[in-house]
């Protein structure tokens, strides 16, 4: 039988330093053609997905791939070509195509001005064995089946129980004509538990996702029992919940994934891609208050093990801790190469992309509202009648700054107390109007893993916040 | 780019040889490759120009115990194929013995021939000039339209292939083009408003660019005069696009895979039960000429074919893969993906009045109706606001409140309900069915939906 590096003995083929002369030749050719900047992103990937349903593994889906993204800048314009063909001919043709987009063509005569790549910034040296240290397929399937068995143990009226595991390994090499030369290995693992409960006409579906970066042992350390209990407690409560009554009301949003409100309502509007498009109301507001003074918001790629953490971004820059809003005042935007060229906002190590097939763009990493001084119960006690959003579903933001997101698990607040569970709530609003209404932040900041889809594809992120109180927000329901 | 095409005969021969060496008797393969170019502009300047060459294969093997495993890769070299074959074989050790896919019995059945003209790609700088001109014309339509922040003109040449070890060989070559224009308009002292339009064709020279500009402009301008709406229950009119989006989000109603997994509102014995008003019919028909880029076969090689899902309000058929069809004792319907657990999904909906029925209330016209109606033009955030396994939805939308013939854009609102109640509350249809990228549908009137506004 043929060997299978993908499953039984993962080796994670890496980009060697021997790529340097090939890349330098391409970068020099691009500069000789008249490009201001040429960037090459090389990628190899190894993915494993496993799905368990009830007591059965129903899907194992390994995949592996490779490719290159070649980007050429001329002034504020750029051309981008992606290809699966990593041969010299394939890369050269990709460069030619990208140059042609800008009206440029290769020349053999003029000087390139390219002084060669700098020393390799190698962030992968301690990560070479990460893939091999990940759980085997047998371990992964056993752990998932433990999860679905725990769901059966803790839940009632469960019609469907699912556990999913995803392991994404990525080796990247970034080279650019400004001398950037950097290599990294990334490892992201995520686990999900989902259930559907049904009892007569009552139905409720709910899920939780857990994710880390750079921690090969993550799945082995997962507490399947605690996760299953958490999911089953929530779905058991929501199964008999009534639909929320619609209207304007105060809301308290729980910590962890409650942070999706900031991610959707404000975070996207602080990416330079939005400044470029003219779709953020905050473009000219640096130094001005845009939120309640209780709000300090941060985006960083540094928290160890967090799903959105990076050793370097997809343009070879080390991530930073970027204070976006400090005591309500806008401090800065998240920026990438293109954002810096087009808007003047300095890069923040936020150039991210799903894969080589996307040009990098300014994207969030670990984004959260900082902890405040209050106890969580103080926020709830301050509301006469409102909504407590314990668990949030997904959301989105539109081109005019309108955001929306679904409440997965909600409760009424009546006279400062949590009372009945309610379902079917959607929170809608506009960032400019809602940010000044975040009036209280609790002292219990926690983060949660998620995926964010935008202009450069789907990337791993962390959202987070302490419990926060919004003085008034539109709650859609029935 | 380097030659980016699939040679079915060579690929089949290589895989047969590798499988033979590995002792694998049964296998199949899905492969695709594509070459894309696209442009985006920003106020008369090129914003981004992109090119892409992609290739991918998925190999599926059956091991000695009859269990199935798969592996996918973008590496079509011999080493890549060998590694994929080995990965699939290893994965097959974890195959589901309770439900093992087999080759589709229709994998060698005749395919229909579609009229899908192949277009040569245009130079990217030509695309750029075309899009710049389209943007300029859209900006010129109204002083309030300041930017077209989301725009793109793209063309694609693609190939798909399905092969199996019993000699099935499906191959399709296709070219497509698309244009989208989403404008942003803002008047002094008012909130920005946005809307847009999309067009698809088999080549960029066939795109209805003028129609796309007209639609994007008229939709955007129609949202400039806006106001809040009172929360309450309203008679609603779904645009074809919005109703197709909603039905698509709840397509697990018709999906045999979801039924077997227990995550559909339908049950195994639901066929023959009434789901909607008797004058509503829904058909899945990927072969409709309006479905630009239609596939002639699915991921298992089964031919694409029309399938009635709802006839006279009664659930009549489910969408199937080979495995689900075997469970139900029917033939695969051409709606499968490829995998160890095969996904099932719709192609392209045809929604409208049941032939021979009254079609519900006649003469509906939202601009001359006696009572106020809410026109739901486009729905947002379906991924978050639809609970398909529960039947409920709560979705932000763009639309208008039409009262006494006067139409005013709604500032911000959500529509909420239950899909089963909605299908029973359809009042009738307005106008001729419109072809959209997702299907064919007229305006659909629905009574008594909950609208949340901020008035």
DSSP-derived pairing of the beta strands A402-414 and A385-397:
antiparallel
Q: With an 8 Å Cβ cutoff, is B113 touching chain A?
A: no
Same domain, A200 and A306: no
**Domain B8-219 in CATH 3.30.2290.10:** yes
Same domain, A203 and A68: yes
Same domain, A148 and A260: no
Q: What is the per-residue pLDDT for A1?
A: 38
Q: Is the pLDDT of residue A401 over 80?
A: no
Same domain, A137 and A193: yes
Q: What is the per-residue pLDDT for B273?
A: 98
Same domain, A22 and A141: yes
Q: What is the per-residue pLDDT for B443?
A: 98
Q: With an 8 Å Cβ cutoff, is B54 touching chain A?
A: yes
Q: Check residues B166 and A402 and name the one with the higher pLDDT.
A: B166
- The CATH number of residue A62's host domain is 3.30.2290.10
Is residue A4 in some structural domain? no
Once rounded to an integer, what is the mean pLDDT over residues A343-349?
97
| Strand (E) or helix (H) holding A100 | helix A88-101
What is the ipTM score, two decimals? Answer: 0.91
Q: Which of A463, A86, A449 is nearest to A259 (CA)?
A: A463
pLDDT in tens, A411-429: 999 999 999 999 999 998 8
Same domain, A84 and A96: yes
Nearest CA-CA distance, residue A59 and chain B, Å: 5
Question: Whole-angstrom Cα distance, residue A110 to residue B159?
Answer: 40
Q: What is the per-residue pLDDT for A265?
A: 85
Question: Whole-angstrom Cα distance, residue A244 to residue A167?
Answer: 37
Q: What is the per-residue pLDDT for A4?
A: 43
Q: Is the pLDDT of residue A384 over 50?
A: yes
Beta-carbon pairs below 8 A across chains A and B: 272
Q: pLDDT 10s digit of each residue in chain B, 455 long?
A: 345 678 888 999 999 999 999 999 999 999 999 999 999 999 999 988 999 999 999 999 999 999 999 999 999 888 899 999 999 999 999 999 999 999 999 999 999 999 999 999 999 999 999 999 999 999 999 999 999 999 999 999 999 999 999 999 999 999 999 999 999 999 999 999 999 999 999 999 999 999 999 999 999 999 999 999 999 999 999 999 999 999 999 999 999 999 999 999 999 999 999 999 999 999 999 999 999 999 999 999 999 999 999 999 999 999 999 999 999 999 999 999 999 999 999 999 999 999 999 899 999 999 999 999 999 999 998 988 999 999 999 999 999 999 999 999 999 899 999 999 999 999 999 999 999 999 999 999 999 999 998 77
Q: Which of B55, B97, B84, B58 is nearest to B336 (CA)?
A: B58
**Per-domain residue ranges for chain B?**
8-219, 225-455
Partner-chain contact A426 B22, CB within 8 Å: no
Beta-bridged to residue B68, according to DSSP, are: B62
Of A1, A59, A243, the CB nearest to B89: A1
Chain position carrying tokens 């709560």: B394
Which of A238, A254, A283 is the C-terminal boundary of a domain? A238
Q: What is the per-residue pLDDT for B379?
A: 95
Is residue A278 in some structural domain? yes
Question: Whole-angstrom Cα distance, residue A478 to residue A422?
Answer: 11
The string over B251-270, giving b where at least 16 C-beta atoms fall within 10 Å of a residue's C-beta and e elsewhere, is bbbbbbbbbbbbbbbbeeee
Which of A188, A215, A238 is the C-terminal boundary of a domain? A238
Positive or negative: CA dihedral A87, A90, A94, A99? positive
Question: Whole-angstrom Cα distance, residue A167 to residue A46?
Answer: 8
Nearest CA-CA distance, residue A451 and chain B, Å: 13
Angle (CA) A67-A69-A75 rounded to 5° is 175
pLDDT in tens, A297-338: 999 999 999 999 999 999 999 999 999 999 999 999 999 999
Q: What is the per-residue pLDDT for A6?
A: 46
- Residue A178: give the domain boundaries: 17-238
Cβ-based contacts of B390 with chain A (< 8 Å): 203-205
Chain A interface test: which of B25, B40, B49 (most A C-beta within 10 Å):
B49
Of B94, B384, B417, the CB nearest to A395: B384
Question: Whole-angstrom Cα distance, residue B220 to residue B182?
Answer: 8
Same domain, A36 and A73: yes
Question: Whole-angstrom Cα distance, residue B400 to residue B375?
Answer: 5
Is residue A2 in some structural domain? no
Beta carbons within 8 Å of A461's beta carbon, 6+ residues apart: A263, A307, A308, A363, A364, A365, A366, A367, A449, A450, A451, A452
Is residue A10 in some structural domain? no
Same domain, A45 and A154: yes
DSSP assignment string, B317-341:
--B--HHHHHHHTS---S-B--SSS
pLDDT in tens, A161-191: 999 999 999 999 999 999 999 999 999 999 9
Nearest CA-CA distance, residue A157 and chain B, Å: 12
Q: What is the per-residue pLDDT for A431?
A: 85
Chain position carrying tokens 């700054």: A401
* Number of domains within chain A: 2
Report field, pTM of the whole predicted structure over 0.90:
yes
Partner-chain contact B45 A57, CB within 8 Å: no
Same domain, A163 and A262: no
Is residue A339 in some structural domain? yes
pLDDT band per the 50, 70, 90 thresholds, residue A403: confident
Partner-chain contact B184 A279, CB within 8 Å: yes
Q: With an 8 Å Cβ cutoff, is B395 touching chain A?
A: yes
Is residue A47 in some structural domain? yes
Same domain, A75 and A218: yes
CA distances from A196 to A152, A225, A414, B388, B391 (A): 12, 18, 29, 11, 12
pLDDT in tens, A192-250: 999 999 999 899 999 999 999 999 999 999 999 999 999 999 999 999 999 999 899 99
Chain A interface test: which of B6, B27, B87 (most A C-beta within 10 Å):
B87
Of B46, B53, B95, the CB nearest to A77: B46
Same domain, A200 and A250: no
CA distances from B181 to B193, B212, B392 (A): 14, 7, 31
Nearest CA-CA distance, residue A373 and chain B, Å: 31
Which of A238, A260, A283 is the C-terminal boundary of a domain? A238
Q: What is the per-residue pLDDT for B198?
A: 96
The DSSP code for A384 is S
Same domain, A387 and A262: yes
| Strand (E) or helix (H) holding A204 | strand A202-213
Cβ-based contacts of A239 with chain B (< 8 Å): none
Q: What is the per-residue pLDDT for A333?
A: 98
Is residue A6 in some structural domain? no
Q: Which of B347, B387, B344, B348 is nearest to B257 (CA)?
A: B344
Q: What is the per-residue pLDDT for A7?
A: 55
pLDDT band per the 50, 70, 90 thresholds, residue A11: low
What is the SS3 assignment for B30?
strand
Give the chain A residue nearest B88 (alpha carbons): A62
């Amino acid at each position: 039988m043929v060997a299978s590096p993908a499953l039984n003995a993962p080796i994670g083929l890496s980009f060697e330093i021997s790529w340097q002369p090939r890349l330098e030749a391409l970068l020099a050719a691009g500069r000789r053609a008249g490009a201001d900047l040429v960037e090459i992103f090389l990628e190899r990937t190894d993915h494993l997905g496993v799905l368990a349903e009830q007591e059965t593994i129903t899907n194992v889906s390994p995949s592996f791939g490779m490719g290159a993204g070649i980007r050429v800048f001329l002034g504020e314009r750029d051309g981008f070509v992606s290809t699966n063909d990593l041969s010299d001919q394939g890369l050269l043709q990709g460069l030619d195509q990208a140059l042609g987009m800008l009206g440029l063509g290769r020349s053999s005569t003029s000087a390139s001005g390219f002084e060669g790549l700098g020393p390799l910034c190698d962030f992968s040296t301690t990560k070479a064995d990460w893939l091999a240290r990940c759980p085997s397929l047998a371990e992964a399937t056993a752990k998932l089946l433990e999860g679905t068995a725990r769901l059966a143990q803790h839940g009632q009226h469960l019609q469907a129980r699912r556990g999913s595991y995803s392991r994404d390994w990525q080796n990247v090499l970034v080279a650019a004509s400004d001398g950037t030369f950097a290599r990294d290995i990334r490892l992201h693992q995520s686990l999900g538990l989902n259930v559907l409960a049904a009892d007569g006409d009552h139905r409720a579906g709910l899920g939780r996702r857990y994710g880390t970066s750079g921690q090969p042992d993550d799945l082995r350390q997962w507490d399947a029992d605690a996760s299953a209990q958490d999911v089953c407690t929530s779905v058991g409560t929501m199964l008999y919940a009534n639909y929320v009554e619609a209207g304007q009301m105060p809301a308290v949003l729980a910590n962890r994934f409650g942070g999706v409100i900031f991610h959707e309502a404000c975070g996207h509007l602080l990416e330079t891609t939005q400044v470029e498009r003219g779709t953020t109301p905050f473009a000219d507001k640096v130094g001005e208050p845009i939120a309640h003074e209780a709000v300090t918001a941060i985006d960083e790629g540094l928290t160890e093990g967090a799903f959105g953490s990076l050793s370097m971004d997809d343009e070879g820059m080390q991530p930073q801790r970027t204070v976006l809003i400090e005591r309500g005042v806008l401090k800065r935007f998240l920026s990438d190469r293109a954002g810096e060229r087009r808007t003047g906002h300095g890069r923040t190590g936020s150039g991210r992309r799903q894969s080589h097939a996307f040009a990098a763009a300014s994207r969030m990493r670990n984004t959260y509202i900082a902890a405040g001084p209050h106890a969580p119960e103080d926020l709830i006690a301050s509301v006469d009648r409102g909504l407590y959003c314990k668990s949030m579903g997904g959301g989105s933001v539109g081109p005019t700054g309108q955001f929306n997101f679904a409440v997965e698990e909600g409760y009424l607040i009546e006279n400062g107390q949590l009372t009945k569970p309610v379902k079917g709530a959607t929170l809608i609003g506009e960032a400019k109007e809602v940010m000044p209404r975040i009036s209280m932040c609790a002292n219990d900041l926690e983060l949660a893993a998620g995926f964010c889809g935008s202009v450069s594809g789907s990337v791993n992120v962390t959202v987070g916040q302490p419990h926060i109180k919004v003085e008034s927000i539109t709650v859609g329901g029935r | 780019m380097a030659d980016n095409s699939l040679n079915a005969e060579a690929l089949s021969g290589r895989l047969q040889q590798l499988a033979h060496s590995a002792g694998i008797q049964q296998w199949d393969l899905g492969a695709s490759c594509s070459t894309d170019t696209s442009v985006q502009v920003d106020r008369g300047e090129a914003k981004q120009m992109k090119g892409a060459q992609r290739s991918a294969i998925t190999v599926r093997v059956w091991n000695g115990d009859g269990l199935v495993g798969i592996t996918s890769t973008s590496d079509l070299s011999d080493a890549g194929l060998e590694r994929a074959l080995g990965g699939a074989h290893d994965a097959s050790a974890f195959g589901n013995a309770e439900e093992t896919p087999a080759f589709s019995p229709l994998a060698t059945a005749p395919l229909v021939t579609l009229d899908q003209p192949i277009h040569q790609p245009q130079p990217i700088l030509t695309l750029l000039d075309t899009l710049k001109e389209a943007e300029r014309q859209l900006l010129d339509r109204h002083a309030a339209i300041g930017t077209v922040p989301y725009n793109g003109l793209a063309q694609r040449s693609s190939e798909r292939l399905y092969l199996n070890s019993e000699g099935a060989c499906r191959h399709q070559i296709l070219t497509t083009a698309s244009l989208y224009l989403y404008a942003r308009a803002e008047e002094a002292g008012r909130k920005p408003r946005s809307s847009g339009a999309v067009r698809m064709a088999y080549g960029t020279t066939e795109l209805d660019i003028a129609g796309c500009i007209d639609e994007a402009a008229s939709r955007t301008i129609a949202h400039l005069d806006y106001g809040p709406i009172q929360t309450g229950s309203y008679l609603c009119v779904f645009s074809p696009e919005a109703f197709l989006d909603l039905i698509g989000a709840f397509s697990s109603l018709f999906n045999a895979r979801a039924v077997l997994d227990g995550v559909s509102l339908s049950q195994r014995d639901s066929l023959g039960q009434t789901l909607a008003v008797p004058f509503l019919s829904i058909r899945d028909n990927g072969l409709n000429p309006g479905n630009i880029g239609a596939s002639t076969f699915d991921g298992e090689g089964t031919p694409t074919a029309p399938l009635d899902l709802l006839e006279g309000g009664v659930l009549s058929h489910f969408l199937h893969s080979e495995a689900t069809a075997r469970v139900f004792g029917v033939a695969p319907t051409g709606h499968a993906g490829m995998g160890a657990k095969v996904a099932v999904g719709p192609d392209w909906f045809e929604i409208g009045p049941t032939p021979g029925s009254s079609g519900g209330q006649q003469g509906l016209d939202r601009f001359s109706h006696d009572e106020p109606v809410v026109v739901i033009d486009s729905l947002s955030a379906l991924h978050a606001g639809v609970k398909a396994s529960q039947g409920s939805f709560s979705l932000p939308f763009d639309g208008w409140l039409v009262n006494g013939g006067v139409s005013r854009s709604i500032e911000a609102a959500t529509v909420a309900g239950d899909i089963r109640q909605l299908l029973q509350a359809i009042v009738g249809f307005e106008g001729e069915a419109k072809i959209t990228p997702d299907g064919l549908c007229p305006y659909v009137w629905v009574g008594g939906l909950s609208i949340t506004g901020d008035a």
